[in-house]
Structure 1
């Protein structure tokens, strides 16, 4: 079992709400409340393949699992932020490490940080998924997040502008739709996705 952060971030990114060349998704870890399959949910159907000691995947996932992971009823939201704002916000959230609530989960973006450096100088690099750098400048990007962060939740005060934001579909529906598409195509949904999008130097784990 594993948290589905990388997978669900990629799901929302590929819904087409954001600039595919930019840092397309930005959300906090605090809204991800369980693993997949959910450790706190027991489905009635006992024939489903579920995690057991010594039993490898793949496992069956049902709607109850997804509801356990994302119980808050958030909406997808799009807004804009500059490269400078992105660097500043990443500095802010990694300053709280190892508290995981505000720690970001991302798609379309890579960053490296060193939690041993002084607060305010922990972000070492920020780039797109293809490795091209995102400088701390005035270049604007369309990004996707959730309405809870737009309103300042999880410590994201003064990061996003509600006036410049557009509310989209329910977050849960977007994730469920991606699972349905994988199922219809006969694909195995892979979680977690550990591809180096977040790299911690020293004691911080990479994801």
Structure 2
């Protein structure tokens, strides 16, 4: 962790706004690592903006018959995310703040303008599943990131976390296991295939 914090601190000290991406399969610990880094650097140096704020709403997913695949690559507003990353990358001290959406697990929905990103904060840490995907608008978002780190976590650890998360937010044990080893695992295979495009592979069990 000390090495990761030092690397993030170096990005924050580059003299201009930088965006650091953290990617990995569901349950890899992306949000935990992003928050740990931001806490270590402090609010004047780093802020976290999650890709999950660009989940399509349940109503939109149901309208398009994708509700049972929530979390798949086509259940996000990739163009909206790419546009936000561009705004964040271009911000300079003196500019007005940028307001980013965030995903609230307690309601399983995105909330607009949930994160304030001041223009004088030098490092934006963004985390999500598809930062290295080669389709849609994902490459445009990746192009504005200084680095992308891929989290490599043992499947047993990752799946156990996922099942606990789904259960904690309302699914039965059986449904939690089914979702983690069904839709989530299909997404994980797609994400794993993007590992080779990462700047750094972090082998980390997290906490």
Higher helix share: 2
Pair member with larger Rg: 1
TM-score, normalised via structure 2 length = 0.31
Give the alignment's TM-score, normalised by structure 1: 0.31
